Amino acid sequence: MSLFIKNAVIVNADQISAQPQDILLERGVIAKIATTINAQPTDVVEASGKFVLPGLIDLHVHLRQPGGEDKETIETGSRAAAKGGFTTIFCMPNTDPVIDNAMIVEAIIKEAKRVGLVNVFPVGAISRGQKGQELTDMFELKEAGCLALSDDGRAVGNAQLMRLALEYAKMAGLLLIEHCEDPTLSHCRVMNEGMNSTLLGLKGIPGAAETVIVGRDIELAHYLKTKIHLAHISLKRSVELIRWAKAQAIGVTAEATPHHFTLTDDMVKSFDTKTKVNPPLRTPEDVEALKEALKDGTIDCIASDHAPHTEEEKEFEYDQAPFGMIGLETALGLAVTELVEKKYLTWPQLVEKMSTRPARIVGLANKGEIQEGKDADMTIVDPQKEWVVKKEEFASKSKNSPFIGRKLKGCVVATICGGKVVYQVN
């Protein structure tokens, strides 16, 4: 089985190809890249005028299966990923039951293979049942296919347990991903604490709920000489702590979401529950700090934190509605519109944030770049095309996006995973 991509302007993290190239994909790998390839493959994808990027990788997705199939399934989530240009996604363990044992990991991988669209890596839980009391069987989770563990949805609140988890995960060769939120500071609170929460009469989550855990985990990683990945960083102050840690050569990496580098808590004034997300939308100052941090490398990568919820659940009052917004299908468009168009990132830097760095962070050596011998995962993008986010066009089972109606630049025209076209615009 082979696929032939013609006239591709290849964008890797280190460069954009000076002239269009032909790419031949065979048996799931990149067989050949050359100015002209004389081959007779069965399928051809014409890419002239488009950018061909290494397949996008999202370290932070909620697929909701098992247990939340009314919100999303592995199948609908895979379709949303493919439509958004993602070829590899990591799904968080806060399902029901929690992804905390080998059987569930294997079942998810099996279902993702049956769906056959994108690579799905389940993120196992750090603590059994995500209860924050005892560690999961990490070697077993690794053997079943996990590359990373997280208690996402909540932090590992107990510092001693986090210490043990970091030590054990280091031995097992697993990455830990922390959801930075001190539960005692954020309990029952629903939006960013500040002027807006005060005027709206909504309970505010202080920024310190995030930074207290960021600071704690940086110190633990330093003390234990190990690595930690910090999920969905939302604050200027967190950025400053991470920047300091990196200057000390502490093994910390971090991600930011498109909604956190695009939206502010002014949006909450509408009381539209689609703006309710955790961590909450912050201030213009924080948005600016995140964009600067992506530019200077303090924040390593962009992750969507795709968090589907049904319309029925989101119809409740702001206090009661669940946290989360979908993001797989708007991530690239937002990154191009907010970061590339506004000159924070170049296209190669965007590729670094959305493919190359995430691949390195979790240790996927054959992904994240377009080179002969690497995996045949690619995203073809029309960099100039503008489009409007429409509710009825989401492939995701849920529609809880605050970006509906927004005009974005940069559109995925085809997604290729394992040498196979898994999404293509008509």
Dist. CA 298–CA 239, nearest whole Å: 7
The nearer residue to another protein, 156 or 281, going by C-beta atoms, is: 281
CB of 308 to another protein, least distance (A): 19
Question: Which DSSP symbol is given to 393?
Answer: G
Question: Which DSSP symbol is given to 370?
Answer: -
Dist. CA 122–CA 106, nearest whole Å: 9
CB of 287 to another protein, least distance (A): 18
The nearer residue to another protein, 48 or 184, going by C-beta atoms, is: 184
Per this entry, what is the length of the chain? 426
Strand partners, 23: 5, 33
The nearer residue to another protein, 159 or 195, going by C-beta atoms, is: 195
CB of 147 to another protein, least distance (A): 40
- For residue 407, give the nearest of 389, 394, 390 by alpha carbon: 389
Give the footprint of another protein on this chain (CB under 8 A): 193-195, 197-204, 206, 270-271, 312, 315-320
Going along 270-371, which residue ranges are E strands?
A: 301-302
HEC string of 111-155 equals HHHHHCCCEEEECECCEHHHCCCCECCHHHHHHHCCCEEECCCCC
CB of 234 to another protein, least distance (A): 17
The nearer residue to another protein, 181 or 382, going by C-beta atoms, is: 181
Q: Which residues are catalytic?
A: 305
Going by their DSSP bridges, the two strands 378-388 and 407-417 should be labelled as antiparallel
In DSSP notation, 303-314 reads ---B----HHHH
In DSSP notation, 159-189 reads HHHHHHHHHHHHHHT-EEEE----HHHHTT-
CB of 318 to another protein, least distance (A): 5
Are the CB atoms for 10 and 21 separated by under 8 Å?
A: yes
CB of 270 to another protein, least distance (A): 8
The nearer residue to another protein, 298 or 398, going by C-beta atoms, is: 398
The nearer residue to another protein, 223 or 316, going by C-beta atoms, is: 316
Dist. CA 42–CA 203, nearest whole Å: 59
Q: How many CA atoms lie within 13 A of 90 on its CB side?
A: 30
The nearer residue to another protein, 18 or 199, going by C-beta atoms, is: 199
Count of CB atoms within 10 A of residue 259's CB? 26
Strand partners, 411: 382
CB of 186 to another protein, least distance (A): 14
Q: How many CA atoms lie within 13 A of 75 on its CB side?
A: 5
Give the contacts of 98 (CB within 8 A, at least 6 positions apart).
104, 125, 128, 129, 130
Question: Which two three-digit tokens encode residue 171?
Answer: 């031995």
CB of 185 to another protein, least distance (A): 13
The nearer residue to another protein, 49 or 405, going by C-beta atoms, is: 405
Q: How many CA atoms lie within 13 A of 314 on its CB side?
A: 22
